[in-house]
């Protein structure tokens, strides 16, 4: 890190891509799309955070297929219309000296469609229908869908791609023993439960330019004694690093509605710190990080390499400008807003 700047405002490089600061906007579903197509809401919502000074702005969970959406108002990237609609949004983000990123996802058994799919025919709760257990052939088709969405992301102009392996959605469902009861090579042991998510990660990494980074968001724990845990997350991170993944975005929970999650400031930071140390891979910390000094301290103490902000950026799109002021660092403001800088 550049010692002349607060850690939060030191640039960070992944492969050939330099990001101006360590403030990354988390992917957050807006439930505002029609047929998966982004619209003016997404332009203003995402563009405002780019104008506000974030180093990276990530588009919400974007489905690789219609059946992979959490709801029918989710974004998608399975056709050319969606790809073309993303392009001007991506271009606007870039014009603000901000890196455009997108998270590719499949909702699995948490999709609100009649024919939801999952590794095993286990519903998320009694409010969800029993999902169809994916066959090996259907899993191969899903991998091709991830590859196609990856290629569309590049054509739309995105510079960072994140794979969603968290929060109880499809790839997380394979990882967690709470949702994966398969008896074939994709269930049972940790090695088997990691197999399909790792295959997807390899397909995505191989479909994305080598000079641009790929992130993975994980749930580092299910917060259930018999579920997925940090030790397994560290092993997964090691495997992802070997494939060529550049950063682990460390969230938690979502696999079961019964988890008791001790949410509070920095409650997920220890996951980012442990994975960073044990797997020797860059990590992002996320979860109730609301102040510039708090975020800077996490980075300065070596617990993470970047800070993903969600709700705080919903409250204040200009959080980076405020954090810079609070930390005593002079950063570039949008020319149009200079009159308000002092």
Catalytic residue among 169, 174, 186, 318: 169
Give yes or no: 169 in active site: yes
Helix, strand, or coil here: 282? strand
3-state SS, 12-32, equals EEECCEEECCCEEECCCCCCC
Catalytic residues: 169
């Amino acid at each position: 890190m550049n010692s002349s700047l607060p850690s939060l405002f030191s640039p960070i490089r992944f492969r050939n891509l330099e990001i101006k600061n360590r403030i990354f906007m988390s992917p957050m579903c807006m439930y505002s799309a029609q047929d998966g197509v982004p619209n003016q809401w997404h332009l203003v919502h995402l563009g405002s955070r780019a104008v506000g000074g974030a180093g990276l702005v990530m588009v919400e969970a974007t489905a690789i297929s219609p059946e992979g959406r959490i709801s029918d108002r989710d974004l998608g990237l399975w056709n050319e219309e969606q790809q073309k609609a993303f392009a001007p949004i991506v271009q606007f983000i870039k014009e603000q000296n901000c890196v455009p990123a997108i998270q590719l996802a499949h909702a699995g058994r948490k999709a609100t469609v009649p024919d939801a799919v999952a590794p095993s025919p286990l519903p998320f709760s009694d409010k969800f229908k029993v999902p169809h257990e994916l066959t090996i052939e259907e899993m191969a088709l899903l991998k091709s869908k991830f590859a196609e969405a990856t290629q569309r992301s590049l054509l739309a102009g995105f510079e960072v791609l994140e794979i969603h392996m968290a929060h109880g959605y499809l790839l997380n469902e394979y990882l967690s023993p709470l949702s994966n009861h398969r008896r074939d090579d994709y269930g049972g042991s940790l090695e088997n439960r990691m197999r399909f998510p790792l295959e997807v990660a390899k397909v995505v990494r191989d479909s994305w330019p080598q000079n641009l980074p790929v992130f993975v968001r994980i749930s580092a724990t299910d917060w259930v004694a018999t579920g997925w845990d940090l030790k397994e997350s560290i092993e997964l991170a090691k495997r992802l690093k070997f494939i060529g993944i550049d950063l682990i975005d460390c969230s938690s929970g979502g696999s079961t509605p019964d988890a008791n999650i001790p949410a509070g400031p920095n409650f997920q930071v220890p996951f980012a710190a442990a994975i960073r140390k044990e797997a020797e891979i860059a990590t992002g910390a996320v979860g109730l990080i609301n102040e510039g000094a708090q975020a800077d301290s996490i980075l300065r103490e070596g617990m993470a390499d970047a800070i993903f902000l969600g709700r705080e950026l919903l409250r204040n799109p200009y959080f980076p400008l405020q954090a810079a002021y609070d930390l005593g660092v002079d950063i570039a403001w949008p020319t149009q807003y200079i009159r308000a800088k002092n």
